[in-house]
Structure 1
């Protein structure tokens, strides 16, 4: 029996259809092909998205040094959500992670809805990241057109995912490794320069002075902290990938527990640490932060030669890592939906290496179509796709919270020995996290930059939920 079969074997919704034969027959299940080092690096690198490198400058420009509070607030929210998800994933490792738990805890409609919304989010991300990588590669080799580069990176990473889950893990191990080493080196070298301890640095080493010497810590007012939250919240998406990947490891419970316990220091070092370094090396309103990018501007202030080229290599690595993980995540969610009868049965079939080929091809096909939309209709069709998936991260986190409220009782009733990771101060912190997420969603409705995203995302979510409820009603009538 595979680890992802555990959940459904221990009880499910009364109207849950039987899994397809293909998901249980020999050669038609996911394989434990991920090693501990793969999962460790997926857990660490999953927090570091390309948005951290390319989007932080906009947040700094909007909130000044107070953007640190924005990152801290979102970081706390992610830590709490990951703790809840970790509680459920350690007890019941599953390829569909929170979608399967929502299926069990909230109902078939919830698992169907959040599963398809999450899949939709990641296949749109495939197009965004493929285009971002193509822009960098075209700058290096302009003789190859941008669309060709986008096609090349998509084909290469599709081949990687089709080969085996181990090849995905190996690629992600090295991609994530580059990101981790780069951020750690940036924080270490930057802190030395901040305090004037870096030999040969061009930076005057003003210590913490830049946090307050240009309009104070809140130069744009206290409300800018919330504006900053909206700008940084989506760069944290990806933390939950390790709970999906754990289902294809030899010891999923250990992997999930380790990942959840380490999320605090990962966010503190990679997000808060690196942004703190940027803000202490440069005044927050330095034009170079938005013109060159926050990290390039910081490296230039130290006197690191070829900072732009160095950062382009790191950003490209982050882009490829996000593409690699996005394709993996979308395909595994499609696989899980297929197993539960919420997607075509072909999605639940795997080849002799345990790879869900149909789920991968379906995900990459939509990604290719989205890339085409990005080149053909960037301001209309693709803008709609982008905005309508923009708030899905918050929807996912909200569903995780609501599911955990129900799943705690189910776990205690059926398998209390598996409750090895516990949410702190349950249920009070769970409700507090729900309140935080709802507040951010409501605030987006009153923010000019976030309103369109949340309204279009709500529209798409309403359509998916309506389909789920109609399917559920149809099945209930057929059963009766």
Structure 2
């Protein structure tokens, strides 16, 4: 089998401008978005207060993924990332299927995030159709991505900085209200309302893991961005070690405080639970300010996902598994055609928003999550093959290594597989496997047709 350096050389042409700080913010940008600010409402509806356990389990799976993906990325920093690793360690068909499944997932996720943008804008402009905002903000962020990776990194850093500052402020205000005052109706006693902490039982808690996993999807963007980092190995190690800790603190602290301020039966609504908290606290203009923050969060996640999915299409084109034009970069190292084709999700979102505005968010989320979760599952499978091959060939140890191999890698694969299977038993997410499994079959068939013709 060809040396991996050939894959890395094949994917040259992008410019290496991203710093380790920007890479951390790119990962946070992808993972702290609609999943936290809007998706948490769905998770609370499934799990009740035990949603904290749901998000803790999701964080554990994300930690295992970062360990596996981090080791492979330090060994092979390239924009094709886990798609290229699957190609090299599992075979060309695996690389083809993983890349396209993930690409399609993020194309739809881009649409889902911009769908949420339309919902947030309705807070201020109720009379304006949501699809108008979907089209407007899509055009702006596509323009940002078309400029250069340096512009993209700067914009994403700014977006994520606003989110981080807002979450820190939310935690500080929430902690003061819960523990520093004796406001009636606010406190840890809210955990016992509506049936108690386990009101929805263990099964409800496990269903909450589905949404929690969707919330954490995006941390893998660090690995994709490694192909455009200034010092890839160092930047990846720094970014991966700090990102998961920040995400766990952001998710668990904010949810714990939110459930103490607003009873979970009130938080599980279509409105962002964070905006609901500010309405309950009666802080002047706070709900409007926080709505701006969740708007920025959705734009940030969309921006990050558009970047990531365009690089996956670029990698496919360079592997001769997509039209050659998608692998062409301009003078600024930007794969223009790959970005434009990866913007299709925004067009899908505009269409769905125009005809089914109420159902659009859940539909987009349930369909989009399959490819991303499948890609995570395949990261664990690829890591098993990666480590065993390196051990067989006597390759030197890598500075960033997954701990507990092979047991924790196997555990990650089992947990991801279980989460994917669970979607079949949840009415809200039945579209996930109903769409995903036929899509995998189509991809496998397309690969075999292309190989036979070639």
Per the TM superposition, whether the score is higher than 0.5 is yes
Question: Does the 8 Å CA contact 1:127/1:374 hold for their aligned counterparts?
Answer: no
Which is further off, 429-438 or 53-62? 53-62
Relative to total residues, which structure has the larger helix share, 1 or 2? 2
Q: 1:351 aligns with which of 327, 330, 355?
A: 330
- 2:136 is aligned to 152
Where does structure 1 lack aligned partners over 5 or more consecutive residues?
1-5, 13-17, 476-480
Q: 2:348 aligns with which of 364, 367, 370?
A: 370
Separation in 2, partners of 1:283, 1:181 = 25
- 2:239 is aligned to 259
Where does structure 2 lack aligned partners over 5 or more consecutive residues?
none
Separation in 2, partners of 1:134, 1:447 = 26
Shift of 1:369: 3.2
The reply to whether residue 111 of structure 1 matches residue 89 of structure 2 is: no
Shift of 1:299: 2.6
CA RMSD of aligned residues (A): 2.7
- 1:224 is aligned to 204
Shift of 1:205: 5.5
Distance 1:414 1:334, change over 3 A: farther
The reply to whether residue 279 of structure 1 matches residue 259 of structure 2 is: yes
1:349-428 to 2 correspondence within 5 Å? 349-364=328-343, 366-375=344-353, 377-378=355-356, 387-412=366-391, 416-417=395-396, 419-428=398-407
SS at the partner of 2:374? Answer: helix
Shift of 1:296: 2.2
Separation in 1, partners of 2:48, 2:353 = 34
SS at the partner of 1:222? Answer: helix
- 2:442 is aligned to 463
1:14-93 to 2 correspondence within 5 Å? 19=10, 29-93=13-77
Distance 1:222 1:385, change over 3 A: closer
Shift of 1:381: 11
SS at the partner of 1:390? Answer: helix
Separation in 2, partners of 1:37, 1:108 = 33
Shift of 1:190: 0.9
Distance 1:441 1:409, change over 3 A: same
Distance 1:232 1:186, change over 3 A: same
The reply to whether residue 212 of structure 1 matches residue 192 of structure 2 is: yes
- 1:250 is aligned to 230
SS at the partner of 2:417? Answer: helix
Which is further off, 313-322 or 442-451? 442-451
| CA deviation vs aligned residue, 1:164-186 (integer Å, no higher than 9, x gap) | 00000010000011111111111
- 2:291 is aligned to 312
Normalised to the residue count of structure 1, the TM-score between the two structures is 0.87
